[in-house]
């Protein structure tokens, strides 16, 4: 799966998890850009991403992400 396809999937996951159909996630997006992205929805997002891509992250990996681009790098590395 290339970056664009991953980003499309991530957009679907964010829209569903955050109940916001108008949300547009870009590689540069950070948690600070999205009001609904709080600590609890963060957990739901990670669970949904791990489930969708059939991968598992470590807590260290997640803590190192600065934006969605780094999240995609991590997904691609699995």
Partner 1 sequence: MILKKGDNFKFGFKVTQEIHTNFIGLFNDNNPLHTDHQFALNKGFNGRVMHGNILNGFISFFIGECLPTKDVIIHSQEIFFKNPVYLNDELSFNATVIETYESVNTIVFNFTFKNDKEKIVAKGKIQIGELI
Q: Which residues bind partner 1 (CB under 8 A)?
A: 40, 42-44, 46-47, 50-51, 56-59, 61-62
Contact 48, 57 (CB under 8 A): no
Q: Where are the alpha helices (DSSP H) in 1-67?
A: 3-17, 39-53, 59-64
Burial of 75 (0-12, 13-18, 19+ CB in 10 A): buried
Question: 61 or 70, CB closer to partner 1?
Answer: 61
Beta carbon of residue 61, minimum distance to partner 1 (angstroms, whole number):
7
For the bound state, the minimum distance from the C-beta of residue 58 to partner 1, rounded and expressed in Å, comes to 6
CB of 18 to partner 1, least distance (A): 14
Nearer CB in complex with partner 1: 19/24: 19
Residue in this structure with the two tokens 């470590």, named with its chain if needed? 58
């Amino acid at each position: 799966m290339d970056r664009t396809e991953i980003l499309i999937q991530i957009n679907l996951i964010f829209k569903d998890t955050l109940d916001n159909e108008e949300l547009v996630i870009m590689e540069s997006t950070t948690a600070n850009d999205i009001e609904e992205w709080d600590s609890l929805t963060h957990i739901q997002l990670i669970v949904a991403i791990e489930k969708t891509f059939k991968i598992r992250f470590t807590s260290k990996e997640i803590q190192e992400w600065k934006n969605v681009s780094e999240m995609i790098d991590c997904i691609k590395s699995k």
